[in-house]
Amino acid sequence: MEITSDNKTETEVEVALRGRFDAHGTDAFRQRIDSEIDSGVHHLRINLTAVEFVDSTALAELVRGMKRCRELGGDLMLVDPSDPVRVILELTKLVAAFEIV
Partner 1 sequence: MTELATTESSLDLYRQWATEPIAERPRFSVVIPAYNEEWRILPTIGAIATHMSSFGQPWELIVADDGSTDSTVELIEDLDLVNLRLMIADGNSGKGNAVRRGVLAARGELVLFADADQSTPIEQFEALVAGIDAGNDVVVASRAAAGAEVASKSLSRKVFSTGLSLIVRGVFRIPVTDTQCGFKLFTAEAADLLFGRQLIDDFSFDLEVLYLASKFDLEVAEVPVTWIDAPGSKVDAAKVAVEFLRDLAIIRWNDFRGAYDSENHRPPRT
CB of 25 to partner 1, least distance (A): 11
**How near is the Cβ of 87 to partner 1 at its closest, in Å?**
4
Q: How far is the CB of 11 from partner 1 (least distance, A)?
A: 32
**What one-character-per-residue DSSP string does the chain give?**
-EEEEES--SSEEEEEEEEEESTTTHHHHHHHHHHHHHTT--EEEEEEEEEEEE-HHHHHHHHHHHHHHHHTT-EEEEES--HHHHHHHHHTT-TTTS-B-
Chain positions contacting partner 1, by CB under 8 A: 20, 22-24, 52-57, 59, 83-84, 86-88, 90-92
